[in-house]
Amino acid sequence: MRGGHGVLHTGHCLIDVNSDRQVEAGAATTVHFADIDDDEIDAYVATGEPLAVAGAFTVDGLGAPFISGSSKAIRGTVIGL
């Protein structure tokens, strides 16, 4: 993904078990990745953070500097509940 972009999807579904009422919502955001070098990637992997998260990076953790932009606000679309 280095220097490229990807589309991240998030969604939520809330169900009221008393009434069986259900509300759903979803969003997609294009995230642009910085053009980082192999040493930066190796250092990030060595932290262990990308091994414990979906997509192997976090925008609200140590992976944040690797994001160069997005099509929508990160908080609320990429960073969910």
Cite the beta strand spans of the chain per DSSP E. Answer: 5-16, 21-33, 67-70
Do residues 30 and 37 make contact, with C-beta atoms less than 8 angstroms apart? no
CA distances from 20 to 4, 14, 81 (A): 42, 10, 22
17, pLDDT greater than 80: yes
Please tell me the predicted confidence (pLDDT) of residue 24.
Answer: 94
74, pLDDT greater than 80: no
Mean pLDDT on 62-74: 79
69, pLDDT greater than 60: yes
Please tell me the predicted confidence (pLDDT) of residue 52.
Answer: 83
Residue 19 tokens read as: 């009434």
Mean pLDDT on 63-67: 85
